Structure 1
Amino acid sequence: MRPVRFAVSALILCLTAPSAHAEPVIKKSYSYFNVGGHTAEELEAELAEHGPQVSDTGTRHSGATRIKMGGSVTYQASGSSCRVKDAVVELETHLTLPRWTNRSRANRNTVLIWDTLSSDIKRHEERHAEIARQWARKLERALETLRPQSDCKKMAARVDAKTKAIVDKHAADQQRFDRVEAVSFERRMSRMLRYKAQQQKNGG
C-alpha cells in the first residue's frame, strides 16, 4: 500500500529579554487534533485538512513543535570590568500530534499504516524538542563563559550578539533535520511498514 505522505515543521521563536531565575527551566506539553477516515487516502486528506497550520506559509502539517526560548542573565561589575554572573535559559516546547478517531471501524491494513505513521510523526516532533533542549544548554553554557567586558553595557551587547548567533544556529539545525527527514520519509515508512507487518504475522 502507498504510504501516507506528511509534512513537518518546527515553529521557532527567538530568545526573549532576560530576568533572573535560580535554575534552568525546561517544560514540554502536548495537544492533539482529531482526524477521521477509514483508508490511507482518507487519513492523508484528514491530516492535510486538520493538521496544525504554520503561520509563515499558511500550510497544514501532520504534526508541529512550537519552541519558545526565554532567558535570564545577571551581571557582576568589579572594578573596571563586568562579567556574566549567572545565565539561565528557559525552554518551552509544545508538541501538536494527530489522534485518529476511527480506529475501531477501520480494517487491519489501515490500522497498520496509521500506527506506523503516527509513531513516526511523534518520533519526529520529539526529536525537534530534543534538538531545542540541546541548543538551550549550549546557549546557557556559552553565555556563562563569555569573556568580561569593560562595562556592563558592553557585556550586555556581547550577550545579545551571542544569543542571536546561537538562536540562528538552532533554527538552522531544526531546518536541516526537517530536510533530512523529508528525503528519507518514503524509505523509512516502507521499512517500518514491513517490520510491523512481519510482527503482526508472527503474532507480535
Structure 2
Amino acid sequence: MAAAFAFAVTTTASAAKIHRSYSYYNVNGKTADELDKSLSRGGYLLKSTGQRHPGAAQIRFDAKARYGSNGKACSVTGVYVNVYAKVFLPRWKQRRKAQPELALVWDTLSQDIRRHEESHLVIARTHAGEIERRIRALPSRPDCALLRQDINKVTQQVMKNHEAAQKRFDFVETLNFEKRFERLLTYRLERELAKKN
C-alpha cells in the first residue's frame, strides 16, 4: 500500500466522510505468463520499496477539531476525520476476447486485488473513527494550548497504530496469497460448473 498521510487540526467541524477515486492502468497479454509480466511492468510503483504492485491505495487523513474555552477551561466541541483515498487497479484490455479459463483466472485475481485495496480503506476508516472517538473523549484542560497538545498526541499515536495495522495486513495477505487464490479460484470454477449443469 502506498500511503501519504497529511494531518491538520483546525477549528472547523463537519461530518466525517470517506472520499474514494479510482485510477486504472492497462494490462496486456493473451497468456497467464504475459499477463503476469504486464502486471509486473505496469503496476503501481511504490517509491518506498522501488517495487511495482498490481494494486495500491494512497490514503490521506484530514482531521479537524473544534475546541474553545469558557473562561475556566478549554474543551473539545467537535471533531471529524475525512479519509481521502486514491485506488490504483489493473484493467485487462483483451478480457472480452480471452479464453474462458484465462478469463476466469483474471476475474478471480482482479477481484482479489480490488478486495485487498478496499480492505486498506476499511483499516483507514477504523482508525479515523478511533481518532474522532479519542479526541471527543479528551478531558478539559486549563487552556487551549494544552488541549491542542493532547489532540496532537492522540493523533500521532493513532496514526502510528494505523501504519502498523496496514503493514500487518499486507504481511498476512502476502503469506496467505497462494492458498487464498487457490480457494477463490476453486470456488469460481465450482460455481461455473454448477451453472452449466
TM-score, normalised to structure 2's length?
0.94
Amino acid at match of 1:201: L
Is residue 22–residue 89 contact of structure 2 (8 Å, CA) maintained in 1? Answer: yes
2:5 match: 13
1:138 match: 130
Amino acid at match of 1:67: I
Q: CA offset at residue 195 of structure 1? A: 1.5
Structure 1: runs of 5 or more not aligned? 1-8
Q: CA offset at residue 202 of structure 1? A: 2.4
1:44 match: 36
Instruction: For 1:102-181, list aligned pairs within 5 A.
Output: 102-181=94-173
Q: 1:22 to 1:195 in 2, by over 3 A?
A: closer
- SS of the equivalent of 1:22 reads coil
1:194 match: 186
* Cα distance in 1, alignment partners of residues 94 and 13 from structure 2: 46
Q: CA offset at residue 80 of structure 1? A: 3.1
Residue correspondences, number: 196
Pairing partner for 1:91 from 77, 83, 89 = 83
Superposed CA deviations along residues 7-29 of structure 1, whole A, max 9, x for unmatched, are xx242414234241322232111
* Cα distance in 1, alignment partners of residues 94 and 71 from structure 2: 69
- SS of the equivalent of 1:98 reads strand
**Bigger shift: 156-165 or 193-202?**
193-202
Q: RMSD of the TM alignment (CA)?
A: 1.4
The runs of 4+ residues in structure 1 deviating greater than 6 Å are: none
**Bigger shift: 194-203 or 46-55?**
194-203
Is residue 139–residue 166 contact of structure 1 (8 Å, CA) maintained in 2? Answer: yes
Superposed CA deviations along residues 30-76 of structure 1, whole A, max 9, x for unmatched, are 11111001111111111111111112122110000111101111211
Is residue 14–residue 79 contact of structure 2 (8 Å, CA) maintained in 1? Answer: no
- SS of the equivalent of 1:172 reads helix
TM-score, normalised to structure 1's length?
0.91
Q: CA offset at residue 192 of structure 1? A: 1.2
* Cα distance in 2, alignment partners of residues 172 and 165 from structure 1: 11
**Bigger shift: 102-111 or 150-159?**
102-111
* Cα distance in 1, alignment partners of residues 49 and 43 from structure 2: 14
1:54 match: 46
Is residue 23–residue 88 contact of structure 1 (8 Å, CA) maintained in 2? Answer: yes
* Cα distance in 2, alignment partners of residues 198 and 162 from structure 1: 48
